[in-house]
Amino acid sequence: MSTPAIIDGKEIFELLRGDLSAIEREFGRDTVSGVEAITEIGEYLRSGGGKRIRPMLLLLSAKLFNYPGRGAIKLGAVVEIIHTATLVHDDIIDEAQTRRGRPAANTQWGNSKCVLAGDWLYMQAFKIAVQERNFRILDTLIDLTQQMVEGELLQMEKLGKLISSDEHFDLIFRKTACLFSVCMRMGAILGGATPEQEENLAQYGRDLGMAFQLVDDVLDLTASEDVLGKPVASDLREGKVTMAVIHALERCTSHERERIRKVVRERAFDGVTHGEILAILNRYGSVEAANARAMQYAGMARNAICSFPDSEIKRALLWAPEFVVAREK
């Protein structure tokens, strides 16, 4: 079977423009509360933008089966609200000062209000999802939130420690790839996919999410603060070990290993510079290895949907892995 031509990002945004605008309006309405602080925090987070890649995936998955209803709009808003809630809680846990080039919400409203606003967003997402009257959708969302919370707790347990690559991949599945997978699965459920089609799309989302997070982790180490919208090497400053670092740790000298361990243990570049860590990673081709693994996952994502007939939507899904591995922020 020949590979269909891949359409680019601009064409996809045109393809989804109306639905994405509807999701944005839904998101705005759904984050209004009778409590002023929740509405203010919700609007601040919504206006911060983001790629909206998760609702895009849900839309594309549903459109693959010509799903005609408004459920994809509602659930597109649901997944973006859940994603937003996780970002609020992540920033509090990580004591982050910035998010997407702006002050993090917790620096504006404080931790206590933001914890409760994040909880409210989670509950609001489920309230909207219940309106679909679909137990499979609810089961999928419950499993998702449990995986994400477990991932956050597991990561907290491993902060400041030199973890294995298997532990790292488990964490990025729970914290990122699981949500990508669920977006594809929910679109398939709405569209009436067969069990095999649903699993193929869920696998696509998982592999795409793994690639996305691996690239994110590399960019955290190599991109500039202006591009990232947050301090560089934030992961190391928070005591988090990602794939490029794990790759170097498996190959470096005992002295180099101790330099990396010092940064991770102390959660600070105190006596060890960011440049020194990058030099160690480059010495062992560790950044290239992490990028290569991301490319591998991107290829696996494309392969997961090869059995679907050629269509504009399939070509859009084939483009997404390319976008994920090529992005610079």
- pLDDT tens-digit series, residues 186-235: 999 999 999 999 999 999 999 999 999 999 999 999 988 777 767 789 99
Judge whether 4 lies within some domain: no
Q: Is 225 helix (H, G, I), strand (E, B) or coil?
A: helix
Judge whether 3 lies within some domain: no
Judge whether 287 lies within some domain: yes
Q: Using the 8-state DSSP alphabet, how is residue 164 labeled? A: -
Please, which residues have CB within 8 angstroms of residue 274's CB and are 6 or more apart in sequence? 232, 233, 236
Judge whether 279 lies within some domain: yes
Q: Can you give the residue range of the structural domain that contains 138?
A: 9-326
pLDDT band at 2; cut points 50, 70, 90: very low
Judge whether 1 lies within some domain: no
Give one word for 285, left, alpha or beta, with left for phi > 0 and alpha for psi -120 to 50. left
Q: Region 282-308: what's the mean pLDDT?
A: 97
Q: What is the pLDDT of residues 226-270, one digit of tens each?
A: 777 677 899 999 999 999 999 999 999 999 999 999 999 999 999
Instruction: Look up the pTM and report it.
Output: 0.92
How many other CB atoms sit within 10 Å of the CB of residue 194? 10
pLDDT at 93: 87
Q: What is the pLDDT of residues 103-120, one digit of tens each?
A: 999 999 999 999 999 999
- Domains identified in the chain, total number: 1
The dihedrals phi and psi of 326, each to the nearest 5 degrees, come to -95, -10
Q: How far apart are the first and last CA of the chain?
A: 34
CB 212 within 8 A of CB 324: yes
Q: Is 103 helix (H, G, I), strand (E, B) or coil?
A: strand
Q: Is 22 helix (H, G, I), strand (E, B) or coil?
A: helix
From residue 209, give the alpha-carbon distance in Å to each of 27, 127, 176, 180, 205: 22, 26, 6, 5, 6
pLDDT at 167: 97
Give one word for 192, left, alpha or beta, with left for phi > 0 and alpha for psi -120 to 50. left
Judge whether 136 lies within some domain: yes
Q: Cα 298 to the chain's mean position, in Å?
A: 14
Judge whether 24 lies within some domain: yes
pLDDT at 227: 74
The dihedrals phi and psi of 251, each to the nearest 5 degrees, come to -125, -15
**Which CATH number is 66's domain given?**
1.10.600.10
Judge whether 2 lies within some domain: no
Closest CA to 12 of 75, 45, 59: 59
| Amino acid found at 311 | S
Q: Which structure tokens are listed for 7?
A: 């359409």
d(CA 198, CA 64) in angstroms, rounded, equals 11
